[in-house]
Amino acid sequence: MIKVGIVGGTGYTGVELLRLLAQHPEAELRAITSRKEAGMPVSDMYPSLRGRVALKFVEPAAAGLSSCDVVFFATPNGIAMREARALLDAGVKVIDLAADFRIKDVALWERWYGMQHACPDLIAEAVYGLPELNRDKIKGARLVANPGCYPTAAQLGFLPLVEAGLGDLTHLVADCKSGVSGAGRKAEVHTLFSEASDNFKAYAVSGHRHLPEIRQGLEIMAGKPVNLTFVPHLTPLIRGIHATLYVRLDGEVDLQSLYEKRFANEYFVDVLPAGAHPETRSVRGSNLCRIAVHRPQGGNVVVILSVIDNLTKGAAGQAVQNMNILFGFPENLGLQQIPLLP
């Protein structure tokens, strides 16, 4: 049994972590922090956890996080980078669900996130937590940078083709859609029901913070630079990511076989039969990524469809998957939930 702490447990990724960890047979929740809600029972804020999580939110200083085995940061960008070092020095493993340690180029990170990084030396040490790509590195890590939701869906979809060197890397396109929970729990006009319902729109076309993260991952897979166009969209869904990815084929290959073989031993990646069209509801509430690969009219453009739940495989579920790897548990332990339908 490992002792677990969560910093910032009041947001959507925080409650998703709580939902999953409360069902994990080897995890003991020790502390959940919130400066604003300190003293409030967790189940008062999230009645779904009544009878499953008996803890109250506590001030970070009173949480005793240094006595935990692992601490998750489910906080806004810029928090973990200021607090991770003390925990690492105390022998605690850290999994950051924000973006503080994802991008290796510090100057690039500072440009996209608009702040000075507090511990650039830890960026070099941090392991990017996409298990299907970095499993062996994650096993020996102290600090895991949990991937973003769009980057998870996009990178898993592109992975087999890019890794095999069969795609034209000068013109990759990721056309991605997200549910409104991806914007977090804070109150903002664009996520109000009257604004987001019955509506569909692109945003951040000139540049989204997940662009350098996706591009970095693809360049590591390819071993050379890539040119990526990434356009995110907001959809009237609560949960879900749908990534439609376009690659010009550079060589002949049995696409279905390529994808099935690459993910054959990946518990959380489901390659659907040829001609299938995965739906976001087929993964809702689960840690699964479902992928289908198409070659319309037998042409030279490959279309990959990749769907995940943005709060699970795109955030908290993948973080628990990384925790399992860090501590030598079966990778699917506590993560075998069947998707919710309808």
Query: Residues with catalytic annotation?
Result: 149
For residue 227 the two structure tokens come to: 């040119």
Q: Under the phi-then-psi rule, with left for phi > 0, alpha for psi from -120 to 50, and beta for the rest, what region is 16?
A: alpha
Sign of CA dihedral 129, 111, 214, 185: positive
For residue 159 the two structure tokens come to: 């992975």
Are 75 and 98 in contact by the 8 Å Cβ rule? The answer is yes
Q: DSSP state, 191?
A: G
Number of Cβ within a 10 Å radius of residue 314: 31
Q: DSSP state, 61?
A: G
Upper half-sphere CA count for residue 147 (Cβ side, 13 Å):
32
| 200 vs 234: CA distance, rounded Å | 6
For residue 271 the two structure tokens come to: 């390659």
